[in-house]
């Protein structure tokens, strides 16, 4: 019964966590030697599509982690302080995460309304 | 913790404000030929440091902290002004190593970074308020 809400819950918490990581990148826009961090998305749905290991040669879906952190270096020119944060990119990601989060909350509200309708019948 | 993101942006704003404050102090002392040690004023710059704030579920969130305030060791500017009481025997006055253009650029950069942090703060606040709507169904 709660499968849908569970999925939405996982996705929205992913975007919430990603938002916080990006906030950290923006806070450190003037910190020397800082490298921006980001969260990977693909890992989120791994739990919902369980893969069977029938042969030891099969690739094992590693761990049960929902979200993976990645630290990346991009090819942008860094200043003398070796800071690799690209502010425009981070602001874009910030907007993206927040819009996705708000959308998922709307979807969650719809899910809840549906459930309420099913329970009360009106 | 739900409010961690707000704290992160606040730490960013605080750090940028220290930068603006120091730029203002540098500009104010652009002609101070005598500081407390008898030498001309030396330019001050903050050094930022990323501090790992929380690591729940393998997700590191970094705050920013002003690690220390350093003094710029670059040489003083010399100005020929024999009538100045601070002039040496050759008639040169040592002026602080503050470059007004540099300070203005620094201030603008700090201001923009401050605004970026403020935007992140407000967006985070909106997201938290948005999630309250779920219980209002």
Q: Is the distance from CB of B96 to CB of B30 less than 8 angstroms?
A: yes
Residues of chain A contacting B116 with CB distance shorter than 8 Å: 26, 29, 87, 90-91
What residue of A is the nearest CA neighbor of B131? A105
For A30-72, the DSSP string reads T-TT---EEEESGGGGGGGSPPP--STTSPP---S-S-EEEE-
Averaged pLDDT of chain A: 77
pTM comes to: 0.81
Res A69: pLDDT? 56
For B73-131, the DSSP string reads -SPPEEEE-TTSTT--TTSEEEE-S--HHHHHHHHHHHHHHHHHHHHHHHHHHHHHHHH
Residue with tokens 């930068």: B19
Check residue B136 and report its DSSP letter: G
Query: Are A30 and B134 an interchain contact pair (Cβ–Cβ within 8 Å)?
Result: no
Predicted ipTM? 0.83
Whether residue A80 is predicted with pLDDT greater than 80 in this model: the reply is no
Whether residue B135 is predicted with pLDDT greater than 90 in this model: the reply is no
Res A122: pLDDT? 72
Q: How far apart are CA A70 and CA A74, in angstroms?
A: 12
Query: Are A28 and B131 an interchain contact pair (Cβ–Cβ within 8 Å)?
Result: no
Q: How far apart are CA B8 and CA A50, in angstroms?
A: 36
Taking only the tens place, the pLDDT of each residue in B62-91 is 899 999 999 999 999 999 999 988 888 999
Res A37: pLDDT? 85
Res B35: pLDDT? 85
Query: Are A26 and B137 an interchain contact pair (Cβ–Cβ within 8 Å)?
Result: no
Res B5: pLDDT? 84
**Cα of A58 to nearest chain B Cα, Å:** 26
Residues of chain B contacting A112 with CB distance shorter than 8 Å: 134, 137
Check residue B59 and report its DSSP letter: E
Taking only the tens place, the pLDDT of each residue in A50-63 is 445 566 555 444 43
Q: Is the distance from CB of B18 to CB of B46 less than 8 angstroms?
A: yes
């Amino acid at each position: 019964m709660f499968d849908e809400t569970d999925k939405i819950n996982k996705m929205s918490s992913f975007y919430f966590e990603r938002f916080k990581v990006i906030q950290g990148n923006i806070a450190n826009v003037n910190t020397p030697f800082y490298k921006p961090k980001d969260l990977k998305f693909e890992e989120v749905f791994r739990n919902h599509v369980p893969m069977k290991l029938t042969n030891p040669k099969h690739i094992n879906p590693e761990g049960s982690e929902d979200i993976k952190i990645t630290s990346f270096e991009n090819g942008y020119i860094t200043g003398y302080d070796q800071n690799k944060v690209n502010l425009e990119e981070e602001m874009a990601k910030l907007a993206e995460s927040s819009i996705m989060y708000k959308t998922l909350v709307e979807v969650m509200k719809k899910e809840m309304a549906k459930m309420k309708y099913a329970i009360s019948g009106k | 913790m739900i409010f961690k993101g707000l704290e992160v942006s606040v730490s960013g704003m605080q750090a940028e404000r220290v930068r603006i404050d120091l730029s203002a102090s540098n500009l104010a002392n652009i002609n101070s030929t005598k500081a407390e040690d008898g030498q001309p004023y030396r330019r001050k710059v903050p050094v930022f440091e990323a501090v790992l704030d929380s690591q729940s579920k393998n997700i590191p969130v970094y705050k920013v902290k002003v690690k220390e305030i350093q003094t710029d060791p670059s040489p003083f500017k010399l100005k020929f002004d024999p009538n100045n009481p601070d002039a040496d025997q050759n008639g040169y006055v040592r002026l602080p190593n503050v470059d007004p253009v540099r300070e203005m650029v620094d201030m603008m950069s700090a201001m923009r970074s401050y605004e970026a942090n403020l935007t992140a703060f407000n967006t985070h606040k909106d997201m938290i308020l948005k999630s309250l709507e779920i219980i209002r169904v």
